[in-house]
């Protein structure tokens, strides 16, 4: 998977799936920039771990849901690294509740963090990629919740479904300039979020997964590296499901 020497920007890269993607990209020789909102110590730990692969890595404290912050980060990455070749829109949150108990702020927070951030970052990155005239790639980390829906996740499902529609539309807009846009629709992945689930609820979820286990962040990261690599340059507008068969 050839990403050697490329510079990739990952949002939400200080923990979980974002952290795994940052480290996998570094392991394959990519230079990596990533954003984080508040966990400075965790971000520094990622930087140190990734630099062990002898690549350039830089973390930027910024909220991807803030339009001006997104523009600033992309500008800083361009100035520091000299070029940018790809973007992973990974930042996101959940505020799961049944619709009848969901507050307006729960809806707004999830749509802003999960979907508006994709608009913000993609707009800034696409503008740069077009100026560079060397193509590029965008990968959006979505969810099977955006494909099949999950009870208690109307806000999250709407944001992830919106991300899938965004992926397909943008892929058509920029294909002629050599820019690919794809999405990963993830199932249940072992992260801090899923580890906080009760044993009873975990067992209930596992019963619905044909492969009988949660996925790992490392597995997701390897798929992400492939979709960002030169080996995937003829793949665009696609939604790749990595869910253990949950959405079959």
Among 28, 36, 60, 156, which one carries the catalytic annotation? 156
- DSSP alpha helix (H) spans, 133-233: 145-148, 154-174, 192-195, 199-206, 217-228
Q: How many CA atoms lie within 13 A of 138 on its CB side?
A: 32
Q: How many CA atoms lie within 13 A of 203 on its CB side?
A: 3
Give the largest Cα separation in the chain, rounded.
52
Residue found under tokens 């009870």: 151
Antiparallel, parallel or unpaired: β 136-143 and 86-89: parallel
* Radius of gyration of the chain, Cα coordinates, nearest whole angstrom: 17
Nearby residues of 149 by Cβ (< 8 Å), 6 or more positions away: 157
Nearby residues of 155 by Cβ (< 8 Å), 6 or more positions away: 95, 102, 106, 107, 110, 111
Active site (annotated) includes residue 156: yes
Q: Are 246 and 238 in contact (CB under 8 A)?
A: no
**Crossing angle (nearest 10°) for helices 154-174 and 117-132:** 10
The residues assigned a catalytic role are 156
């Amino acid at each position: 998977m050839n990403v050697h020497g490329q510079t990739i920007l990952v949002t939400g890269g200080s923990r979980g799936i974002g952290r795994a993607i940052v480290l996998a990209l570094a392991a394959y020789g990519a230079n990596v920039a990533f954003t984080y909102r508040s966990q400075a110590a965790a971000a520094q730990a990622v930087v140190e771990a990734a630099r062990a692969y002898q690549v350039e890595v830089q973390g930027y404290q910024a909220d991807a849901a803030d339009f001006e912050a997104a523009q600033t980060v992309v500008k800083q990455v361009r100035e520091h690294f000299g070029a940018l070749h790809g973007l992973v829109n990974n930042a996101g949150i959940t505020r799961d509740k049944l619709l009848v108990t969901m507050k307006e702020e729960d809806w707004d927070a999830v749509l802003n963090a999960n979907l508006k951030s994709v608009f913000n970052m993609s707009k800034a990155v696409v503008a740069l990629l077009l100026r560079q005239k060397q193509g590029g790639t965008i990968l959006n980390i979505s969810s099977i919740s955006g494909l099949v829906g999950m009870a208690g996740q109307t806000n999250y499902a709407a944001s992830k479904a919106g991300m899938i529609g965004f992926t397909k539309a943008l892929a058509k807009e920029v294909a002629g300039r050599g820019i690919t846009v794809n999405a990963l629709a993830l199932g249940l992945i072992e992260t801090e979020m899923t580890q906080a689930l009760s044993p009873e609820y975990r067992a209930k979820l596992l019963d619905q997964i044909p492969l009988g286990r949660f996925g790992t962040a490392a597995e997701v990261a390897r798929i992400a590296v492939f979709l960002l690599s030169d080996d995937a340059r003829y793949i665009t507008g696609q939604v790749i499901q990595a869910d253990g068969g949950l959405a079959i």
